[in-house]
Amino acid sequence: MAGHSKWAQIKRKKGANDKKRSAIISKHIRAITAAVRSGGSGDPAANLSLKNAIAAAKTDTVPADNIEGAIKRAVGQGEGGADYKEATYEGYGPGGTAILIETLTDNVNRTVGEIRAVFNKRGGSLGNSGSVAWQFEKKGLILISEQGEDAQEAAIELGAEDLSETEDGLEISTDPTDLHAISEGLTSRGFSVESAQVSMLPSNTVEVSGADADKLMVLLEALEELDDVQNVYSNADLSAVEA
C-alpha cells in the first residue's frame, strides 16, 4: 500500500494554502449534509455514513463548529436545498493507470461534462461504468504515527487486515465495518491516530515515474479541484516521486 499512499502524502502538502483549505472544508460539509439526508439521522451512532463522513472531516482537521453546523442545517433542511446524489466515474490516466472518482452532485450532466473535460485536457480518458471499478475494494484506512512492533502487534490484535510502513507512520487496512472499533482501540492503547476513513484501495498497483507521474499528478489534482468531486483514487504506485 505504501506506493499507492504516496498521493495522499503529496495532497496533504498541497492542501496547506488557504484556497485549497477552503475547498477541502466545503467538500466535507457537502459529504456530511448528504450523509444526514440519505441516512435519515443527524446522530452518527445511528448513521454509519455520517459517522464515516465526520471521521473523514476530522482527518482533514475540519473545525468541530463547521461539522456541527452542517449537521444542524441538514437536519432542519426539510425539502429545501440541494439534494446531492452519489455518482461514481471511472477512467484511465498516464502510464496505464486506473482512476476511480466519487462525486456528490445535484446535476449529473454538469458533473460528467466537467470530468470528461479534465480527462481530455490532461491526457486521460473517461471510461465506461465497470471498466476499472473491479480493481478497487472498499477498506477502512487508519494512519498512526507510531511504526514500532508494539503498534503493529496492537493493530493485529484489534483485527487489522494489512499493515504498511509509510513516511508518515503505520498505515492499517481494515474491513470498513471495523474501522471505528480499531481506531478507538488504538487510541485507548495510547497510539496517535492521525486519520481514520473509508477508502478505495487497488488490488494491484502500477508503478509510474518520470513524465507519466508528473502528468498523472496534474490530472488527479485537476479532478479533485472540481466542486462535485469528493474523492479520487488511482492504482498508481508513486514511490519514486518526491513528496
List, in order of start, the domains of the chain with CATH numbers.
Answer: 6-75 (1.10.10.200), 85-134+204-237 (3.30.70.980), 136-202 (3.30.70.980)
Which segment of 5-14, 52-61, 116-125 scores lowest on mean pLDDT? Answer: 5-14
pLDDT exceeds 70 at position 185:
yes
pLDDT at 77: 58
pLDDT exceeds 80 at position 11:
no
Is residue 28 classed as helix, strand or coil in its secondary structure?
helix
Average pLDDT of the chain to the nearest whole number: 87
9: left (phi over 0), alpha (psi -120 to 50) or beta: alpha
pLDDT at 243: 55
Pairing state between β 85-93 and 125-126: antiparallel
pLDDT exceeds 70 at position 19:
no
Confidence category of residue 99, pLDDT binned at 50, 70, 90: very high
Q: Angle between the 210-224 and 108-121 helix axes, to the nearest 10 degrees?
A: 160
pLDDT at 32: 92
| Averaged pLDDT, 23-50 | 89
User: 83 or 188, which is more confident?
Assistant: 188
Query: Contact, 143 vs 168, CB < 8 A?
Result: yes
Query: Contact, 201 vs 141, CB < 8 A?
Result: yes
Confidence category of residue 242, pLDDT binned at 50, 70, 90: low
pLDDT at 39: 83
135-151: burial string, b at 16+ Cβ within 10 Å, e else: bbeebbbbbbebbeeeb
Which segment of 3-7, 186-190, 201-205 scores lowest on mean pLDDT? Answer: 3-7
pLDDT at 148: 87
Query: Contact, 144 vs 184, CB < 8 A?
Result: no
Sheet holding 162-166, edge to edge: 162-166, 169-174, 136-144, 193-202
